[in-house]
A and B are shown apart, each in its own frame.
Chain A
């Protein structure tokens, strides 16, 4: 069993829909990261969380430390949101363990 599990693996939505991507982890962590990867490989850090909730524009990330679970929400989705979204967890040395990613496609 992977230490970081994401669901769903693939997600197709219509423009404007509310999107949720889930991440569960099985190890103790110092922080959880949500990352975005576009075709071609570049990775952008969206959020780093150790508790509670963070919001940036149309993106919201939440974490429940007791349940070892995090969610990434996208409100009013847009085709430019199409990308792979990756959950990663960091331990005491802050090296990251990654999920396999969720491929999001938002159709106009």
Chain B
């Protein structure tokens, strides 16, 4: 079973609208970390936001916020007031210990977001 599921392969959004990118995860650990990254066409992965499993408040970083619903194992990224420069691939990732000890990040398949003027 996939550990990170991003159900939206692609999204088209009008400039200045808010965007919600979905992410659900699967882990048996109580302690884990959730991350969102942006990957423009240039290829570099840009860190956006982090949410810890024990954090009671939803994380926010500028125009980015994370809608964390622990019981539903959901960690959706919300981008407010989208801009043309937000067009990119967006990846949800998790670090936990249930993968047999590997500490690397587990990534979802990504969502290709296109902002239209």
- Please indicate whether A and B come from the same complex rather than being unrelated chains: no
